[in-house]
Amino acid sequence: MQLKLAATIAALTLAGFASQSAMASDGKVNFEGKVAQTTCTNKGENYVNLGVLNLGDATMTDKGTKGLANRFYLKLENCTDFASKNATVKFTGSAVDGDPKLLVNATGAEFATRVGVEIADDNGKQILGVDSKQFTLLGVSNKLLFDARFVRTAETATPMTAGKVVAIAEFDITYQ
């Protein structure tokens, strides 16, 4: 019995030495971050009506031609006093082939062709896939303004077709 106990202790001791050499440190990694006390609640629009684009409209003849801007906003409420006083927004979604700044329209018999949807900040800068300008949060309630519009995605020789336009974007808000 004592021999078995001595053999077990010796085996455990050797295992301890072997595991120490396997756990040698080759370097160090520092992780940094921030824990925010709170964020705002999004109470903004989740549907934007772009209106009707008339195919007979002579202004939409060339690729890249834009329709009228339709203002929409993200309304942030319950913004309490926390360390972050600024925010940026990043919209993402399926983009038009060859133009990553435009949301692609849904496909199918009932949907328009050769038209995409642009999301821009209130200064007209396209912001799909990139951070928006920095918004200063003032008080408990804030409106972050954006524009959306139709954009022709094909050359003049390839006509647009009539139909519905449905494009979906997701967004993330980053507080600074």
Number of helical H runs and strand E runs in the chain: 1, 9
Rounded distance between C-alpha atoms, residue 160 and residue 15, angstroms: 73
Q: What are phi and psi of 140, to 5 degrees?
A: -80, -30
In terms of DSSP bridges, do strands 95-96 and 142-152 run parallel, antiparallel, or are they unpaired?
unpaired
Distance CA 66, CA 120 (A): 12
Structure token pair of residue 48: 């934007």
Is 156:61 a contact under the CB 8 Å cutoff?
yes
- Tens-digit pLDDT profile for the chain (176 aa)? 444 444 444 444 444 544 455 556 676 676 766 565 557 888 866 677 777 766 655 667 789 988 888 888 899 888 876 556 889 999 999 999 989 999 999 999 999 899 999 999 988 999 999 999 999 988 888 899 999 998 999 887 788 888 889 999 999 898 88
Query: Backbone phi, then psi, for 5, in 5-degree steps?
Result: -65, -40
The residues with which 87 forms a beta bridge, in sequence order, are: 135, 175
Q: What architecture (CATH level 2) is domain 41-175?
A: Sandwich (2.60)
Q: Quote helix, strand, coil % in the chain, to nearest 5.
A: 10, 35, 55
Q: How many residues does the chain have?
A: 176
Residues 6+ apart with CB under 8 A from 30: none
| pTM of the predicted protein model | 0.73
